[in-house]
Amino acid sequence: MTSEDVDARPATTADPDVFVGNAGKDAPLDRGWLLGHFKDPGDLRHSEEVEIKWGVHPKGEERAQWVRGERRVALQVLISGRFRLEFPGRSVVLAEQGDYVVWGRGVDHSWCAEEDSVVLTVRWPSVPGYQVPLPDPS
C-alpha cells in the first residue's frame, strides 16, 4: 500500500458508508471516544451497541472517581506505556503492548496511568449517561 492508497479525509455525502479518520486527531474532539451513542445519529460512528475510545493518558493521570455498578462489558488494550486498573481487591497492570483486560457488568473499577499511556477501550452496549462530569473550569 502506498500513501496514495490512503485517504485520511472523513466520509462525504458522496460516500456515506465509509469514514476514515485518525484516532490521535479525532479522539480529543469527544473526550477520546471514537464511536458510540454520543455521536450524532446521522454520523456513521453513532452506535447503540458499542463504544470505542482512544485514551491518551499522561503519567500520573487517574480516573476522577470509581465506576460503581458498571452496566457494560469492557475490554482495554494497551497500545503503549504502563496502565494500572483497580478492581475490588485486585490490581491489574498492563505493561507490554497488547496486554489487555476484560471485565463484566457489575464490576467496579478505576485506573491510573503509571507512564504516559495510550489505551484502546471497547465497551458494550453503549449506555447513555455514563461519563465522569467535566471539571468546573472556574
| Residue at 126: amino acid letter | S
Weakest-pLDDT range from 12-16, 23-27, 55-59, 60-64: 12-16
Beta bridge partners of 122: 52, 75
Neighbour-count burial for 90-112, b at 16+ CB within 10 Å, e otherwise: eebebeeeeeebebeeeeebebb
Average pLDDT over residues 127-138: 63
Average pLDDT over residues 13-25: 81
Residue 133 and residue 65 in contact, taking contact as beta carbons nearer than 8 Å: no
Q: Per residue in 44-70, pLDDT tens?
A: 999 999 999 999 999 999 999 999 988
Of the pLDDT bands very low, low, confident and very high (cuts 50, 70, 90), residue 1 is very low
Residue 3, classed as helix, strand or coil, is helix
pLDDT at 13: 46
Residue 36 and residue 72 in contact, taking contact as beta carbons nearer than 8 Å: no
Cα distance between the two ends of the chain:
49
pLDDT at 2: 44
Residue 100 and residue 116 in contact, taking contact as beta carbons nearer than 8 Å: no
